[in-house]
Structure 1
Amino acid sequence: MADKIQNAYESSKNIYDDVLTQGNIFSKLYIKLFWNGTNDNDIAQKVLSYIPNDFSGNLLDVPVGTTVFTEHKWIALKDVHIKCIQGDVSNLKMNDESYDIVVSMNGFHAFPDKKKAFQETWRVLKPGGTFIGCFYIRGKSKRTDWLVNHILSKKGWFTPPFQTEEELRNILKEMYKQIDLHIDGSMVYFCCTK
């Protein structure tokens, strides 16, 4: 499974940023047809707005990806030191309760072991810390669900199983004391407090 995901990332990294930022007419058409016009740029800004501009604690960004949405935010955070570590989100090599914020943008729909990924991101988060992110959820659009199941999953870009809104709410309610969750088309974005 890890090889399939790695190969999918390698084969798509040259078009990923363009598709998500809708850099050309084909990307805009793809988003309009298959993602109901969901604007990843807007969702990214909403997710990143959960991080205070004067944040100076420990932040984990998993997966980092291409940083197409996060680069400017990370540069603006003057007291944040960035260190890149290659690893597996279902087995993070970080200490318990070591991060003030865990960010996951467009990651959970690709992670093979989502249950472990939720557990690990919770484990490394300090009490009172914030888990923020966004990803695909199923059940909001038949067209998007078809695309995810028949093309994106087969290519290795997405990995089942996928949660519905209700399933995700239940997972987050069991783990976090405060949840701010929003739906935009087939995408969810959220901010949770441990």
Structure 2
Amino acid sequence: MTDTAGKYDRFSGFYDSFEALIERRAFSKYRKRALSLAKGKVLEIGVGTGKNLPYYPEDVEVTGIDFSRGMLEKAERRRRELGLKNVKLMLMDAQNLEFGDNTFDTVVSTFVFCTVPDPMKGLKEAYRVLKPGGRAIFLEHMKSESRLLNIPLYLMDPVMRALTGTSMVRETQRNIERAGFKIERVENLFFDIVRLIIARKP
């Protein structure tokens, strides 16, 4: 287990409460928008406590992975409560996906690549398991292009790294491109700090 996974195991008991206000005010509508775009056989990287599960279309087949047992236990409870039979949850590291090449029609990550210890390794794995022509949906927070907006992010960064292993200042959009994805559309949802990025595997 990585140190980051251990932090999320310890954090899992009150993770949803910690994010309840921002989830209710903003993140839930962002998730609904992002997940409406998922099609076919879907891999969700970093399923966490299963916050995305209510928003998937009924006709998709979802495999959700996470590196924290504690978070997966919460997600499994949510899956059962929602009565979802098209969702499978697995303990797995995003940096070492246990799937063959070109397996999924859609890859989803929501607020994940701020936390993956080696984001480029994780993104390259996501690229590998996505079918050619497949869609990648990234709902992520990241470093802004504005120096002014970055001031609070840099102030928050050491606290969030210590608490959850989360970086507030990663250049995730650039990392997505470096991993080989072709970005089709970017929507700035909260300034340019929270972005919905739709990409394809050529």
What are the residue-to-residue correspondences of 1:176-187 with 2, within 5 Å?
176-185=181-190, 186-187=193-194
- Unpaired segments of 5 or more residues in structure 2? 62-85
Q: CA deviation at 1:182?
A: 2.1
Q: Does 1:192 align with 2:199?
A: yes
How far apart are the structure 2 equivalents of 1:4 and 1:174?
25
- Of 135, 151, 155, the match for 1:142: 151
Contact 2:141 2:168 (8 Å CA) reproduced: no
Corresponding residue for residue 92 of structure 1: 97
What are the residue-to-residue correspondences of 1:1-194 with 2, within 5 Å?
2-22=1-21, 39-51=26-38, 55=39, 57-68=40-51, 70-74=52-56, 76-78=57-59, 80=61, 81-139=86-144, 140-147=149-156, 149-159=157-167, 162-163=170-171, 168-169=173-174, 171-172=176-177, 175-185=180-190, 186-194=193-201
- Unpaired segments of 5 or more residues in structure 1? 23-27, 32-37
Identity of aligned residues (%): 22
Cα distance change, pair 132–176 in 1 and its aligned pair in 2 (3 A): same
Alignment RMSD: 2.6
How far apart are the structure 2 equivalents of 1:173 and 1:154?
27
The TM-score normalised by the length of structure 1 is 0.76
Amino acid at match of 1:83: K
The TM-score normalised by the length of structure 2 is 0.73
How far apart are the structure 1 equivalents of 2:48 and 2:179?
28
* Higher normalized strand content (fraction of residues): 2
How far apart are the structure 1 equivalents of 2:105 and 2:184?
16
How far apart are the structure 2 equivalents of 1:163 and 1:178?
14
